[in-house]
Amino acid sequence: MILAGDEMATVKEPNPAFAESIIKAGGKTLNLCYQCGTCTASCPSGRQTAFRTRKLIRKAQLGLKEDILPSDDLWMCTTCYTCVERCPRQVDITDIIMILRNFAVKEGYMAETHKKTASSMMNTGHTIPLTNDYKEMRKRLGLSEQPPTVLGDPKALEDWKKIMQITGFDKLIGGK
Amino acid sequence: MTERYALFLGCIAPLRYPGIEKATREVFKALDVELVDLEGAGCCPAPGVIRSFDQTTWLALAARNLALAEKKGLDIITICNGCFGSLFDAAHLLHEDKQKVKEVNKILKEVGLEYVGDKIKVRHFADVLHKDIGIERIKSKVVNPLNFKAAVHYGCHFAKPSKIKQLDDPERPSILDELVEAVGPKSINYRDKMMCCGAGGGLRTRANEIAMKMTEEKLANVKKAGGQFIVDVCPFCHLQYDRTQKDVPGYNIPVIHLSQLYGLAFGLPRENMGFESHHVPVNL
């Protein structure tokens, strides 16, 4: 039988340099994986989605950058660590996924909703805003209207933002 | 006052479920433990989102929070699994890699801070209750023992990754069940008790319909096992369970943070538990 189009098996060229960059960024255990699939079988997100942890780790070992970085699957992990607990080779799977996500963001692959969370964290010190309803509720509970965090402290907020100017987070997420 | 801790608030407790913050403050006061505000602290920052975006930023901001506690000379107490995971992991990474401490301090110097390292510990409030305060002292404060079937939700970042957390068995833990049963309720077994609520890793923000499917799976298991309440130790799991029931029909399972459960059991004023911000009414 002749296969065509989507059915055709393709051979992908490994990219050892990309695989090496994952290891260098902290994924030292990447090559310990022998593809048993315990991770995929343990993944609660994999029950609901097409995300397959074993497959992602294989692609990472081969350095298949173009497959990994733009994919939605990369963002289906909830960082629950169940796979890490059960991995017979003690691969730091969750850490490797977070390294790959860092690479994806650097290449500009970032969901708009994630940009919003990141920008709120940068500009207010918190991932979510403090709205008037909750200010009122805090007062009713006898708490300070604003929590004693970065929120109500201009000097602390200035320091907070300065750190992200130094690390380049402001530019990374495309905010101000 | 014997013990003192620096209270790390995080984002969701103070800004969405302030009752959790209030209950925590009141419960620890009742236990003669002093919680000191960690003024100027920010987001932990969130392990699933911010750490996924840029580890350097994540580590620098976490180190800033840790450095603020170092200045006070107090261990951090967290009321959220996410904050606990983030700050604990950051302290661990900095303990293992001194080069990273140097890099982080180069940044912190610009804001007049320094992270020394290994001076203070990052603790989860449930661990403090279990290990430092102890079940007996907790029991001695109970004036209103509660009687219901509780579905305990551990969440992911309380005991995992166990290699570094070393708090409890990651697959069959018992700390929270013991803490819940200490004030009256029966902690039930239910299918996939240790499974994630679905919110973490940026999933709720990016693909909430998938996060909610995971939550619904958990809710169905709790319902089938006869759980009358979900008891959590993480405001993010708390929010996920509580708010998902707005959109997914067929469930009416109240969600309470362990601090709120203790507040009720200790006979603290009910209005201080802040149940008004809960979507599913808490009738206790």
pLDDT in tens, B237-282: 999 999 999 999 999 999 999 999 999 999 999 999 999 999 999 9
Provide the 10 A C-beta neighbour count for residue B73: 10
* B9-28 residues touching A, CB cutoff 8 A: 9, 11-12, 14-16, 18-19, 21-22
Section A146-156 average pLDDT: 95
Q: What share of chain A is helix, strand, coil (3-state, %, to 5)?
A: 55, 0, 45
Helix (H, G, I), strand (E, B) or coil at A18: helix
Point out the residue among A79, A113, A128 whose CB comes nearest to the CB of B156. Answer: A79
How many degrees, rounded to 5, is the angle at CA B22 between CA B140 and CA B90?
95
Of B148, B154, B147, nearest to B126 by C-alpha is: B154
SS (H, E, C) B156-187: CCCCCCHHHHCCCCCCCCCHHHHHHHCCCCEE
Question: Nearest CA of chain A to the CA of B93: how many Å?
Answer: 11
Q: Is B52 on the interface with A (CB under 8 A)?
A: yes
For chain A, give the mean pLDDT: 94
Interchain CB distance below 8 Å, A162 and B272: no
Element (H, E) at A165: helix A154-167
* d(C-alpha A18, C-alpha B224), whole Å: 47
Residue of B nearest to A168 (CA): B57
Find which of A39, A72, A80, A146 to mutate to test the B interface (most B CBs within 10 Å of its CB).
A80
State the count of interchain CB pairs (< 8 A) between A and B: 212
* d(C-alpha B211, C-alpha B203), whole Å: 6
The answer to whether domain A12-106 has CATH 1.10.1040.10 is no
Question: Nearest CA of chain B to the CA of A27: how many Å?
Answer: 13
Question: Nearest CA of chain A to the CA of B271: how many Å?
Answer: 8
Interchain CB distance below 8 Å, A75 and B206: yes
pLDDT at A3 over 70: no
**What is residue B2's predicted lDDT score, i.e. its pLDDT?**
58
Question: Nearest CA of chain B to the CA of A63: how many Å?
Answer: 19
Section A140-162 average pLDDT: 96
* d(C-alpha B113, C-alpha A154), whole Å: 17
**What is residue B116's predicted lDDT score, i.e. its pLDDT?**
97
Q: Pull the structure tokens for residue B157.
A: 């970042």
* pLDDT band, very low/low/confident/very high, at A11 (cuts 50, 70, 90): confident
Point out the residue among B9, B202, B274 whose CB comes nearest to the CB of A114. Answer: B202
Q: At what angle do helices B55-72 and A154-167 cross, to 10 degrees?
A: 140
* pLDDT band, very low/low/confident/very high, at A7 (cuts 50, 70, 90): low
- Strands B33-37 and B149-153, sheet pairing: unpaired
Question: Nearest CA of chain B to the CA of A90: how many Å?
Answer: 10
- Where do the structural domains in chain A lie, given as residue ranges? 12-106, 112-172
The DSSP secondary-structure symbol of B123 reads E
**What is residue A174's predicted lDDT score, i.e. its pLDDT?**
84
Of B221, B219, B181, B199, nearest to B81 by C-alpha is: B199
Of B159, B156, B229, B160, nearest to B197 by C-alpha is: B156
The pLDDT profile of chain B, 284 residues, written as one tens digit per residue, is 459 999 999 999 999 999 999 999 999 999 999 999 999 999 999 998 999 999 999 999 999 999 999 999 999 999 999 999 999 999 999 999 999 999 999 999 999 999 999 999 999 999 999 999 999 999 999 999 999 999 999 999 999 999 999 999 999 999 999 999 999 999 999 999 999 999 999 999 999 999 999 999 999 999 999 999 999 999 999 999 999 999 999 999 999 999 999 999 999 999 999 999 999 999 88
Question: Nearest CA of chain B to the CA of A87: how many Å?
Answer: 12
A1 contacts: CB under 8 Å, gap ≥ 6: none
Q: Is B30 on the interface with A (CB under 8 A)?
A: no
Interchain CB distance below 8 Å, B14 and A147: yes
**What is residue B1's predicted lDDT score, i.e. its pLDDT?**
42
Contact B108, B67 (CB under 8 A): yes
Of A33, A86, A37, nearest to A61 by C-alpha is: A33
Point out the residue among B47, B54, B112 whose CB comes nearest to the CB of A79. Answer: B47
Of B176, B229, B236, nearest to B211 by C-alpha is: B236
Find which of B21, B22, B53, B219 to mutate to test the A interface (most A CBs within 10 Å of its CB).
B53
SS (H, E, C) B55-113: HHHHHHHHHHHHHHHHHHCCCEEECCHHHHHHHHHHHHHHHHCHHHHHHHHHHHHCCCC
Residue of B nearest to A171 (CA): B54
Each residue's pLDDT tens digit, A92-136: 999 999 999 999 999 999 999 999 999 999 999 999 999 999 999
B99 contacts: CB under 8 Å, gap ≥ 6: none
Half-sphere exposure of A129 (CA within 13 A, CB side): 7
Q: Which residue ranges form the domains of chain B, and what is each CATH number?
A: 3-125 (1.20.1050.140), 142-277 (3.40.50.11810)
